[in-house]
Amino acid sequence: MRPLPAVSVLIACAAMLTSCDHPSAGGTARFFVRDFGAVPDDAQADGGAIRKCIAAAQASGKPSEVVFEAGNYRVDLAPVVGGELVSLPVRGARDFTLRGAKGGTTMLVFTNPSAVGVLFEGCTNVAIKDLRLDYDPLPYASGTIASVDLKAGTFDLDLEAGSLAFDHPAFLPENTKALWGMTVRPDPAHGVTRYGPNVIGGGAKISLVEGRRWRLGSNQWFWPPCTVEELKPDTRYVHIPRTYGAGVCFRNSTNVRAEGVTILASPGLAFLPILCGGEIAFVDCHVRVVPGRPLSSNADGIHARGLRGKILIEGCSFEGMSDDAINIHSSAILVQNIVSPSEIIAPQHSWSVRPGDELVVMDPQTLAEKGRTTVASSEPGPGGTRIRFTKPIKGLKAGGSFAEADRIYNLSEAGSPFVIRDCKFLSFRGRGILASSAGGIIERNRFENNEGWAIDLGFGERLYGEGPPPGNIVIADNEFIGKGGILPAIMVHVTIDFVASMQGSRSADLGVRPFRNLTIRGNTFENLSAPAIRLGGVEGAILENNVVKRTGPAETLKSAAVEVDNSARVVISQLTVQDPGFASDLMLGSLLEPGGQGVTFEPAGLRVDDQRK
């Protein structure tokens, strides 16, 4: 079978990404933190000494490395710049590396639970290697539910020894961007830890009862809502003061690399590359749970936003996060005011535009594409950024939210091409890979994540406005191991309503097909509790040589192994279903393009049922 046109290009990009690295040791000046007073394992604050070493390395004007010995360093907060809390800031560096001892036996322990750990900002050719990152105190409150009051709608929580208390500054409104919590429960039947998924919102009153016992309400702001009826005494619970910070953040930088880095805790994201370009690589990086702890990071593992260039995520692993493992996307540009069909004003957010960038405009209600254009110029101002187009867009809509105004996505900073390979996705709350990108390869990974949806190619929800609609993506030679999750392993879906998305809605009635050129090939799905693949809103896909099997106790499922609806030009070849628990091998919905333009089979005339043994 002929591959889709984008596949060969993506494979070539994958080969290029494999070889990217930043500067070699030859001719590099080395600066040792011990020479500036940072001594491992002495229980003293080392942040000031490390920051002096970083400053000296940058001032040398040479390619440089800041070198740590093995052992633990306690890193206190740097002087606050612009209100941002950062422990180790590296700004404007060029040809610069932070390097620990080989084998990752160097630990940086950050002592402010609301602060970014390491920030690279405005840098070129920078790397962080062979380091472990942790926080003390941990950036959340954790304990055991002591009692539940159904009438009052409250529960009492006994905090664990060493846990943050709710009167800690980390829980102040100015130090947190989201406040919520969830139960953390072992699931021996599936060999995982269940993180929620039901959560308690942060709007309810929290008060001290006595000693280490606190009383929390059950106010919800998130789906699925958790009520006190679902909470049981003696259940472990964690409450999270999430920030926009990260253990390692690369911001507005070019050619960045993290290699051999393990993050054990973070107040927000574990790794955050944002508005970066060139070659962006995460190799042998891990987000891990320390035995006895309820969580690793308070948010995603790798959250890649607004990237230009080549992205490589290879040989990494993810567990214990309170959210997704990998999220690659661009932020929507909100049309706030319309000057003309060729000029808008948009409130500045986590996006950038440059002359020549390609833009796509999406209707907020129908999610249909309204047109494409390129940037002629952009000019920031007090009322927002004024963006001029080279080609006018007819029928623009303005407004104050993603529900009413057109969204514009910058395809030039949509995180493509990306390669995610040889990674492991273990127990955590959320999706394995969420890719809203214009092109990439997901290959040779192993998914064992809890909730089922290992790969989510979605578009449309109004809460975050992430996009653009993903396309030109190859999903090949991966293993998907069921752990009792109730959502499809590979899910391609359009939705306007975030709640519907979380509930696994097919959203076929929206009628739009924004997803283009998908290849799902050579994957193995084992012991699933939900469909292996669910496609909706697709225009052009190949499903080839995928195997769905059962090696453990059989389940009786109401769904088909593969479900396809509201799609066109979908080709299915050699789908093997060896799991008798599914109600059928294949479900074809009523909104498919009719006739041979909907779903076809290769070889011609072969139906999936013909292959079943």
Q: Calculate the alpha carbon distances from 350 to 175, 305, 306, 338, 464 in Å.
A: 19, 8, 7, 20, 12
Q: Please compute the mean of the pLDDT values over residues 420-433 and round it to a whole number.
A: 96
| Helix, strand, or coil (residue 439) | coil
Q: Is the pLDDT of residue 542 over 70?
A: yes
Residue 72 CA to residue 43 CA, distance in Å, equals 8
- What type of residue sits at position 454? A
Query: What pLDDT band is residue 506 in, cutting at 50, 70 and 90?
Result: very low
Cross-strand partners of 208? 214
Q: Please compute the mean of the pLDDT values over residues 560-588 and round it to a whole number.
A: 95
What is the chain's mean pLDDT, rounded? 89
- pLDDT value of position 231: 82
Judge whether 390 and 376 are in contact, CB under 8 Å: yes
Domain segments of the chain as ranges: 5-132+247-299, 141-242, 330-413
Q: Is the dihedral of CA 139, 141, 144, 145 positive or negative?
A: negative
Judge whether 280 and 313 are in contact, CB under 8 Å: no
Secondary structure (DSSP) of 321-373: -SS-SEEEEEE-EE--EEEETTEEEE---S----TT-EEEEE-TTT--EEEEE
- The neighbour count for residue 5, using CB atoms within 10 Å, is 10
Q: Is the pLDDT of residue 9 over 50?
A: no
Query: What pLDDT band is residue 497 in, cutting at 50, 70 and 90?
Result: low
Q: Is the pLDDT of residue 504 over 70?
A: no
Question: What's the CA angle centered on 154, arms 152 and 155, to 5 degrees?
Answer: 140
Q: Is the pLDDT of residue 16 over 70?
A: no
- pLDDT value of position 136: 97
Work out the burial of residue 229: count CB atoms within 10 Å of its CB; fewer than 13 is exposed, 13-18 middle, 19 or more buried: exposed
Question: Looking at 215-219, 552-556, 566-570, which range is the least confident one?
Answer: 215-219
- The neighbour count for residue 59, using CB atoms within 10 Å, is 9
| SS3 of 66-100 | EECCCEEEEECCCCCECCECEEEEEECCEEEEEEC
- pLDDT value of position 102: 87
User: Two tokens at 566?
Assistant: 């509201």
Domains 5-132+247-299 and 330-413 share a fold: no
Q: Please compute the mean of the pLDDT values over residues 457-474 and round it to a whole number.
A: 88
Number of H helices, E strands in the chain: 3, 51
Q: Is the pLDDT of residue 189 over 60?
A: yes
User: Two tokens at 164?
Assistant: 């943050």
What are the tens digits of pLDDT across the range 85-118?
A: 999 999 999 999 999 998 879 999 999 999 999 9
Q: Is the pLDDT of residue 413 over 80?
A: yes
Cross-strand partners of 578? 549
- What φ, ψ does residue 177 adopt, rounded to 5°? -105, -20
Burial 430-439 (b: 16+ CB within 10 A, else e): bbbbbbbbbb
Q: What percent of the chain has pLDDT over 90?
A: 74
Query: What pLDDT band is residue 567 in, cutting at 50, 70 and 90?
Result: very high
- What type of residue sits at position 337? N
Q: Is the pLDDT of residue 21 over 60?
A: no
- pLDDT value of position 495: 76
Residue 49 CA to residue 75 CA, distance in Å, equals 9
Which among 238, 294, 266, 237 has a CA at the least distance from the CA of 114? Answer: 266
Q: Is the dihedral of CA 580, 535, 417, 249 positive or negative?
A: negative
- pLDDT value of position 22: 40
| Helix, strand, or coil (residue 508) | helix
What are the tens digits of pLDDT across the range 437-449?
A: 989 999 999 999 8
Q: Is the pLDDT of residue 510 over 80?
A: no
Query: What pLDDT band is residue 260 in, cutting at 50, 70 and 90?
Result: very high
Contacts of 605 (CB under 8 A, 6+ apart): none
- Quickly name the fold that domain 5-132+247-299 has: Pectate Lyase C-like (2.160.20)
Q: Calculate the alpha carbon distances from 135 to 105, 268, 272, 496 in Å.
A: 16, 12, 17, 37
Strands 446-447 and 479-481: parallel
Question: Looking at 167-171, 216-220, 344-348, 364-368, which range is the least confident one?
Answer: 216-220
Q: Is the pLDDT of residue 17 over 70?
A: no
Question: What's the CA angle centered on 376, arms 372 and 377, to 5 degrees?
Answer: 125
| Helix, strand, or coil (residue 209) | strand
Q: Is the pLDDT of residue 193 over 80?
A: yes
Query: What pLDDT band is residue 142 in, cutting at 50, 70 and 90?
Result: very high
Cross-strand partners of 106? 71
- pLDDT value of position 132: 98
- pLDDT value of position 604: 61
What are the tens digits of pLDDT across the range 355-412?
A: 999 999 999 888 889 999 999 999 998 889 999 999 999 999 999 888 889 999 999 9
Question: Looking at 121-125, 147-151, 367-371, 538-542, which range is the least confident one?
Answer: 147-151
CATH node for 330-413: 2.40.10
Cross-strand partners of 467? 330
- What type of residue sits at position 138? L
Residue 567 CA to residue 310 CA, distance in Å, equals 30
- What type of residue sits at position 325? A
Per-residue DSSP letter, 175: G
Side-chain-side CA neighbours of residue 380 (13 Å): 6
- pLDDT value of position 505: 46
Q: Is the pLDDT of residue 23 over 50?
A: no
| SS3 of 240-276 | EEECCCEEEEEECCEEEEEEEEEECCECCEEEEEECC
